[in-house]
Amino acid sequence: MTPHSSHANSPLPSASIIGTGSFVPKKVLTNADLERMVDTSDEWITTRTGIKERRIALPTKATSDMGAEASKRALQDAGLDASRIDLILCATVTPDMPFPSTACFIQKKIGATGAACLDLGAACSGFLYALETARQFVATGTFKTILVVGAEKLSSVVDWTDRNTCVLFGDAAGAAILQHRAKGRGILGTVMGSDGRHADILCLPGGGSKHPITPENVKDKLNTIKMSGKETYKFAITAMQNAALAVLKKTGVSAEQISLVIPHQANLRIVESLADKLGVGLDRCYVNLDKYGNTSAASVAVALDEAAKSGRLKRGDLILFVAFGGGLTWAASVLEW
């Protein structure tokens, strides 16, 4: 793996996170509920993944509804009006529809009439990819205020008869607002990379140009997530560790200096192995996958907002973000809060 890095110690203006927000649907689906749906058990799910429950959006709600709610909360947190947003970047693998972008629907729902909008797809690494993309625009002065959203309605693409996948995923959205702040160092550096040779081990094959929506493709369940769990797991362990170590090296920050690791919330065992490799206790890793399961592009965004709102972050703290996902993709960033 050769991560491509963006510049640490860059002479360009930095980008700070000046507000965060998140939204999770009210409906809770517990492991006990899943025991009644497929051949599984609370014991299996808990020991293999750490997940206890996940949230499920109402059938009438789309990804942009959750994204808009998280965005409104981030705007409120930043004390900004939606009219100040120059760009909305939405990371998602469950867009409202192939086009227009989910970012455009979020724009409409929050009234950010002056913004340019686009979606970005890097699966579970999507929020970190989007954050870094936003940073580049802030650094070059192209855009001043950027709303970065990670939002997913994974319940709409899960095969609820497949115990290998249906126990893992949930719905949620998180948002962060980026701006240059004279005194803030913000994002210190990022590494990100991909390996498309393994695109097929975690994918949603249907609904695109390769397998359009046809009665046959729907009958074959191509409109649902396909995953080789074991292979994904092995990749995840290596990718998370390598990306984390690479970004620490790049930014000249040691693991001991990191106040909080905010990892992608896929599996507690993956987080534990990352903590082990970094030599940090699990108490320095933010974990909420027990409550929400894997929410793909929303996962790091929601965890960041929860960590901020629960008082786990103090000004000047160094945060390490790490994610991996379908693609395969990986990303890690160090941010000074």
CB-nearer residue toward ligand UT7: 104 or 120: 120
Of positions 233, 238, 249, 290, contacts ligand UT7 by CB under 6 A: 233
Q: Which of 31, 242, 264, 285 is catalytic?
A: 264
Q: If DSSP codes are grouped into helix, strand and coil, which group holds residue 141? A: coil
DSSP letters of 11-63? SSPP-EEEEEEEE--S-EEEHHHHHTTSS--HHHHHHHH---EEE---TT--H
Smallest distance from the beta carbon of 290 to ligand UT7, in angstroms? 14
What letters, b where the CB count within 10 A reaches 16 and e where it falls short, cover 310-319?
eebbeeeebb
Does residue 124 have an active-site annotation?
yes
Report how far residue 145's alpha carbon sits from residue 292's, in angstroms, rounded to the nearest whole number: 29
Q: Dihedral of the CA atoms 82, 83, 89, 93 (nearest 10)?
A: 50
Instruction: Say if residues 52 and 291 touch (Cβ distance below 8 Å).
Output: yes
From 100-108, 229-237, 244-252, 275-283, span contacting ligand UT7 (CB under 6 A): 229-237
Q: Which of 90, 104, 117, 124 is catalytic?
A: 124
Cα separation, 265 vs 287, whole angstroms: 7
Which 149-168 positions form the footprint of ligand UT7 (CB under 6 A)? 163-164, 167
Our CB check for ligand UT7 shows the closer of 112 and 328 to be 328
Residue 241 in the binding site for ligand UT7 (CB under 6 A): no
| In the complex, minimum distance from the CB of residue 173 to ligand UT7, in angstroms, rounded to a whole number | 16
**Span near ligand UT7 by CB under 6 A; candidates 113-121, 223-231, 241-249, 311-319:** 223-231
Does the active-site annotation cover 242? Answer: no
Spatial separation of the C-alpha atoms in residues 232 and 330, rounded to whole Å = 12
- Answer yes or no whether residue 266 interacts with ligand UT7 by CB under 6 A: yes
- Residue 44 in the binding site for ligand UT7 (CB under 6 A): yes
Element (H, E) at 265: none
- Residue 312 as a binder of ligand UT7 (CB under 6 A): the answer is no
DSSP state of 7: P
Residue 180 appears among annotated catalytic residues: no
329 binds ligand UT7 (CB under 6 A): no
Q: Does 229 bind ligand UT7 (CB under 6 A)?
A: yes
A 10 A CB-CB count for 77 gives 19
267 contributes a contact to ligand UT7 by CB under 6 A: yes
Pairing between β-strand 16-23 and β-strand 171-179 as defined by DSSP bridges? antiparallel
Residue 245 binds to ligand UT7 (criterion: CB under 6 A): no
Our finding on whether 40 is near ligand UT7 (CB under 6 A) is yes
Classified as helix, coil or strand, 292 is helix
User: 316 in helix, strand or coil?
Assistant: coil
110-129 mask for ligand UT7 (x: CB under 6 A)?
--------------x-----
Q: Is residue 293 a contact residue for ligand UT7 (CB under 6 A)?
A: no
Q: Which residues are annotated as catalytic?
A: 124, 264, 294
- Give residues in contact with ligand UT7 (CB under 6 A): 40, 44-45, 48-49, 124, 163-164, 167, 202, 227, 229-230, 232-233, 236, 266-267, 294, 325
